[in-house]
Structure 1
């Protein structure tokens, strides 16, 4: 299989985080049209064509032909990884044995001459003297060392002899599975190339089939679409009801749109991890940037969306008693607890400001090979804290207004 050595440029990463949510927000506000779309079909072909998803989108069951080929690629790559591990183990055995042989052969060759000299020294030593005993011990030690080294080199030669065929077999096995995966991938590429040409006709046929569907089925689909649109409208209305008027409404809208903006980053995460899975398990090319880029993105999303969660009252809290209280009592309690809120938000802002300034001053980057700049992530702490404080001020004004209106009404 061919490998993928693509590393996402930093400017593409930041550009995607900025531009994609804007495009998604615009598209979400456009009137939705039913039916099949050639641009969407081609987009699915590019992103999920390896699984035949473009044909399944058009309700064409020939897309199922992609799945066995795709699963065979995964199987072949798994077998190739096993063969690579076997090759690595066999290569380690052979290389270790060769190192032992290279180290001991000169030592053994030199030991033969050394032992002959020690024997001569022993023969020349006077009987019963200390010199004779020392020469005897030295000779015995040299002979034992020679025996041990000879045994080790014989074992190394045996390991090398046994390991070389295993290494050759593992290499052949790995190459075989790699070729099989490559040929299967070429089959899928051929399928996709043919479908790229046929896709406009496939879309037309899908639309023709949809037009010929029984009226009952069309009515059910139309009813389901209307129900889905109704649920989406209800979700939007449930969020919009939290937006106030006047200057607090400006802050509320700022928090609302900030939350909507970063919510579309989830789509980026799906696409990025889909790419990671395909690159890792189809092309045996795991990336160095997907995981790091996504968890940093989720960190920024968590910070920036805090104000949106505060606006829509989505933060986790224990409201066993709070839920049944009157609006006046809720407002009074919220005014009291806002003290702790502003302590937290102020600390977050001050700490985030220090982190951001330090990271900007030294142009801090990650320790990975990707080396993405860290200072934008640190500034996200500041942005999130500012949005949270502004939303807290808007909430504080709303609670004060609720208390004042209740007292005036009383």
Structure 2
């Protein structure tokens, strides 16, 4: 079975966290077409991400996608069988190796004991009855005979184990090779089907669009009274909560990091395929995603404050009038600013410490350690600080991927600033409600 050796570059990780949400936000803001048709770009996207199980065929309303599923399931079964066979090879090989070591160790011992046995018997016969030399010779003789007996039993058991384990290891190796080959053939078949559909995609999309009924019945006009009821019961939109620049900034940041969840879907999908189809688990997927979700949690705090999405017990707060709610918010904002200020100060300390670690040899690390001034750091900063592989700005992870951790610490600072600004905006609104009613 062919393997995957792809490791996500650090620069691609950061570029993806910035570029993907920007593209997603642009696409989400595009006006919807009057008549929805099947799309070639979307077809290729689904082919690339889910073509291995025929999702692109299902998107185009083609039942031929069912052809992909049995092949994919067979690949999973072949990989599972190859994995079990590999474990059997390891187990039986270890048993055979241990048996061979026992044979190599006990064989010379038994031979040495067998050769020295006549001399020990002669020493017993030559010694005087009841003497110390006789007792000593008898002990040596008994020990040699015991070693000969136990050694022969161990040797016989090891030889039997070796005779049993060696053929089983060879049989398991053959099974492993067989399942690896048939799994690879099935994978090549699946990739061939995907390649064929990649060439046929424009034709498939045109055929799917042609199958759409051009004379669809016109939609019935909605009942005006029903529309009024739905409008009255509709929840408040997030955009309606944005009254100033701070609110719009929190709204933008919350929407931006929300699309990171889509990135997680693609990454974990790749991890599953790489692990169970190509037997090549990654060393970066899990770490990259939990670091990403940590940054998302911090940056989205201001958005959650704006939209009142934080979990709270409002059994006493909910029945209050708007002015009393504003008064309660102003009085309890003291605790909010204590938390937000502590988060900001602590995050700043963590971020500066992450840049100033001894392993950091870039200008930013020298600046964070106080070795150079801000003006000198700015004047000497160039593109080499990004492109030179020998330069490390600060703290990195301890696993094989070695991703820099200092950007995550600075994301805490960004989250703290956004949260503090949103708290100021909220207090301003509450004071305005108290004054104007």
Task: Give me the TM-score of the superposition, normalised by structure 1.
Answer: 0.90
Match of residue 388 from structure 1:
419
Match of residue 15 from structure 1:
15
Return the offset for 1:115. 3.6
Return the offset for 1:391. 0.8
Cα distance change, pair 121–380 in 1 and its aligned pair in 2 (3 A):
farther
Match of residue 390 from structure 2:
none
Distance 1:397 1:77 in 2: 61
Return the offset for 1:279. 0.8
Match of residue 281 from structure 1:
276
Which of residues 102, 106, 118 in structure 2 aligns to 1:100?
Answer: 102
Residue 29 (1) aligns with residue 24 (2): no
Match of residue 365 from structure 1:
396
Return the offset for 1:122. 3.1
Return the offset for 1:259. 0.6
* Of 44-53 and 346-355, the range deviating more from structure 2: 346-355
Distance 2:398 2:18 in 1: 24
Distance 1:203 1:45 in 2: 12
- Cα RMSD, aligned residues only: 2.0
Match of residue 2 from structure 2:
2
**In the TM superposition, what are the counterparts of 1:104-143 in structure 2 within 5 Å?**
104-143=106-145
Match of residue 215 from structure 1:
216
Is the contact made by 2:96 and 2:161 (CA closer than 8 Å) also made in structure 1? yes
Cα distance change, pair 190–132 in 1 and its aligned pair in 2 (3 A):
same
Distance 1:211 1:354 in 2: 63
Which of residues 149, 156, 180 in structure 2 aligns to 1:178?
Answer: 180
Cα distance change, pair 27–125 in 1 and its aligned pair in 2 (3 A):
same
Structure with more helix by fraction: 1
Distance 1:24 1:350 in 2: 33
Match of residue 400 from structure 1:
431
Cα distance change, pair 359–107 in 1 and its aligned pair in 2 (3 A):
farther
Match of residue 256 from structure 1:
251
Equivalent residue pairs, number: 389
Distance 1:394 1:51 in 2: 49
Distance 1:325 1:117 in 2: 106
**SS at structure 2 position matched to 1:390:** helix
**SS at structure 1 position matched to 2:237:** helix
Match of residue 327 from structure 2:
332
Match of residue 237 from structure 2:
238
Is the contact made by 2:110 and 2:148 (CA closer than 8 Å) also made in structure 1? yes
Distance 1:124 1:339 in 2: 103
Match of residue 69 from structure 2:
67
Residue 351 (1) aligns with residue 351 (2): no
Is the contact made by 2:110 and 2:147 (CA closer than 8 Å) also made in structure 1? no
Task: Give me the TM-score of the superposition, normalised by structure 2.
Answer: 0.85
Distance 1:75 1:69 in 2: 10
Structure 1: segments with no counterpart, 5+ residues: 221-226
Show CA shifts across 1:177-219 (max 9, x none): 111111111111121121111111111111110144x624x74
Return the offset for 1:12. 0.9
Cα distance change, pair 113–188 in 1 and its aligned pair in 2 (3 A):
same
Show CA shifts across 1:111-162 (max 9, x none): 3334444334434433212232122222212221222122112111110100
